[in-house]
Structure 1
C-alpha cells in the first residue's frame, strides 16, 4: 500500500513524496550499497519498534528518541486539527521541515522537526524514508484513541455515558478528598418523559434527550462535566462547588430547561426536570454520595417535580 507524504522545509518548496511500506531484508537486491542496506534495516527496526504501542504519545516519543540517535534535531512537533491534538518534544529552533502525513488521501496529522542548523537535501531524504515507518503506527494509535473515546460516549447525546461517569466520579472524589476541595453532584431526570414518548413517539423522545444534553452543556460552567446515566436520567459533576453553590447551579439549570422550547419537526415540546443534589462529606464513599443525590431526586419527584432538593 502506497502512502503520500507532503513535505516542505525552509530550504525547499513544497513537494509530494510517495513511499512504500519498509521492505523486509530478504527482499533486498544484490549489489546495493552499505548505506541503502543500513537505511532499510533502520526503517524495519523503527517500524517494528513503533508497532509495540497504540498510545500516540508513546509512538511519537519512540520515533523522536530513535531519530535523535541518527540525526541532530532539537524538537519534534505533531499537530492534528481533526482530533485537537498538539504534542511537542524538545525546544523549537529556527530551521524546520514540515510533513503532512496521509494514507490513501486520509489526513493523519502534521509532523514538524526543527533545529538550529538548516537541513541538507540528504538529511531530508533520510527523514522522509524514516517517516514512512511512522504513518501507519500513527493511524493505528488514532483509531485506537477513537475507539476508546467512543466506548465512553453515549451514542445518542454524544456526552459521556455511564462507564465514563463511574470512572470520572471515582477520580473526582479521590482528588477532592486529597486536596480538601469541595465537590458536589447533581442527578436530574426529565419530568413525565414517558408522556412525551407516548404522545409524540420515540423519535421525538430521542430528540428531546439530545436537545436536553445540548442545553445542559450550555447551562453548565466549563469546569462541570455532564453524563447520561441512563434513560432520561443525567448526572453533572461540579468541581470546586460547596453545598450552597451546588443549589445555586442546580436552580439555574432547572430554570434554564423550564424556559427552553424544543422544536422537533415543527412540533413544539416543553419539558421540565427534577434535580437531586449532594455535596461530598469527609467520610463519604463514592456510592454514598451518589445515593444521597439519587434519593434527593426521588423526593423532588414526590414533591411535585420541576424542583431542586
Structure 2
C-alpha cells in the first residue's frame, strides 16, 4: 500500500467472501440494488448496473472486472490513479477480481460501504458465470472454437448498446483468408480445416482479453473490438494480418501460404447491426480489390478510407 497522502497512488487489494450483506448501507439502497442485479443473467449488464448503483453511494470514476481463468475482462467508466480491488470468492469458487478507481484515495468507511454492496453482487455474478458457461456451448463454432453467427448477433447488440450508452468507440474487423479455395483444392478439405483453426488460434493470440472472434461464414471471421478507436483497431488488425502471414503450415513438403485481407469499420450513430456488418464487409472488399494481404479502414467522420 502506498502512502496515505492523497498526492500518491493508493492501491489496496482485499478478499471478499460470501458473508451476506452488511449493515453499512441504507436498507432501501441494498433492496434496490439486489432487485436491480436480479434483472439480468448477462455478466456485462450486471457489472454495468452495479457500477451505476455503487457510484451513487461511493463516488467512483471507473470499475474494472477480470476473470483470468475464463479470459473475461470488462471496464466501465475511466480508470484512475487510486484503486481499491476485491477478489470475490463464493465458498471455494473464485469469481474474479473487481477494481474500483478514482482520482482521490478511498477511506476506510468508503471501502466498508463497497464491501457491503459487493456482498450483494456475489450471487448474481455466480449465476451469470454459470449461465455464460451453459450458453457458450450453443454459441461456438464446433470446428474453430470461435463464436458462431448467433453469438455474434448477441454480442453486437450488447456492445453497440454499451458503446452508445457510455459514449465509447466500437470497431469491427472482418478477416478473409486469401485464396482459400486453392488450399482446399490443392491440399484437401481436412488440411483446409486445419488452416482455418491455425488462423483462429493466431487471431486469439493477437487480440486483447476484451476482444472476441466469431466465424461469419466459410473462411470469413469477425473480430469485435470493444472500446477501440480507429487507430488502435488498425494496429490490432495489422498485427493479426502479420501473425497469420507468419504461420508456417505445411502439406507434405509444400509450404501452405496463409495471408488474409481485413476490413475495419467504426460504429456510426445511425448504424444497425446489418448496416454495421455491411460497412465492414465493404471495407473487406476494398482490401481484396486493392491487392489482398492488406488492411482497409472504411471511411469515418475523421478519416477517409485507407489501406495499409
Following the alignment from structure 1 to structure 2, what is the Cα–Cα distance between the partners of residues 271 and 152? 27
Which of the numbers 260, 284, 293 marks the counterpart of 1:297?
Answer: 284
Shift in CA distance, 264/157, structure 1 to aligned 2, threshold 3 Å: farther
Following the alignment from structure 2 to structure 1, what is the Cα–Cα distance between the partners of residues 146 and 162? 22
Following the alignment from structure 1 to structure 2, what is the Cα–Cα distance between the partners of residues 168 and 186? 14
- Contact in 2 for aligned 1:79/1:86 (Cα 8 Å): no
- Name which one, 1 or 2, has greater alpha-carbon Rg: 1
Write out aligned runs for 1:1-20 (5 A). Answer: none
Match for residue 52 of structure 2? none
Match for residue 51 of structure 2? none
Are 1:228 and 2:220 an aligned pair?
Answer: no
Write out aligned runs for 1:47-196 (5 A). Answer: 77-79=90-92, 86=95, 148-196=135-183
Q: Deviations over 1:139-173 (max 9, x none)?
A: xx97x876532110110011211111110011101
Range moving further from structure 2, 208-217 or 259-268: 259-268
Following the alignment from structure 1 to structure 2, what is the Cα–Cα distance between the partners of residues 264 and 163? 33
Match for residue 102 of structure 1? none
Instruction: Indicate the SS of the match to 2:295.
Output: coil
Runs of 4+ in 1 over 3 A off after TM superposition: 76-80, 144-147, 263-268
Instruction: Indicate the SS of the match to 1:155.
Output: coil
Shift in CA distance, 186/145, structure 1 to aligned 2, threshold 3 Å: closer
- Contact in 2 for aligned 1:184/1:243 (Cα 8 Å): yes
Match for residue 256 of structure 1? 243
Q: Deviations over 1:6-51 (max 9, x none)?
A: xxxxxxxxxxxxxxxxxxxxxxxxxxxxxxxxxxxxxxxxxxxxxx
Q: Structure 1, unaligned stretches of length 5 or more?
A: 1-54, 56-75, 88-140
- Contact in 2 for aligned 1:78/1:86 (Cα 8 Å): no
Following the alignment from structure 2 to structure 1, what is the Cα–Cα distance between the partners of residues 219 and 192? 9
- Contact in 1 for aligned 2:261/2:295 (Cα 8 Å): yes
Per-residue deviation, 1:177:
0.4
Match for residue 3 of structure 2? none
Shift in CA distance, 77/228, structure 1 to aligned 2, threshold 3 Å: same
RMSD: 2.9
Following the alignment from structure 1 to structure 2, what is the Cα–Cα distance between the partners of residues 78 and 224? 30
Instruction: Indicate the SS of the match to 1:283.
Output: coil
Per-residue deviation, 1:86:
4.2
Shift in CA distance, 147/241, structure 1 to aligned 2, threshold 3 Å: closer
TM-score scaled by structure 2? 0.53
Shift in CA distance, 154/280, structure 1 to aligned 2, threshold 3 Å: same
Q: Deviations over 1:245-286 (max 9, x none)?
A: 212221121112112212466653221000111001222222
Match for residue 225 of structure 2? 238
Count of residue correspondences: 181
Are 1:210 and 2:197 an aligned pair?
Answer: yes
Following the alignment from structure 1 to structure 2, what is the Cα–Cα distance between the partners of residues 188 and 78? 42
Match for residue 120 of structure 1? none
Following the alignment from structure 1 to structure 2, what is the Cα–Cα distance between the partners of residues 300 and 186? 12
Match for residue 132 of structure 1? none
- Contact in 1 for aligned 2:176/2:260 (Cα 8 Å): yes
Q: Deviations over 1:107-142 (max 9, x none)?
A: xxxxxxxxxxxxxxxxxxxxxxxxxxxxxxxxxx97
TM-score scaled by structure 1? 0.53
- Contact in 2 for aligned 1:186/1:250 (Cα 8 Å): yes
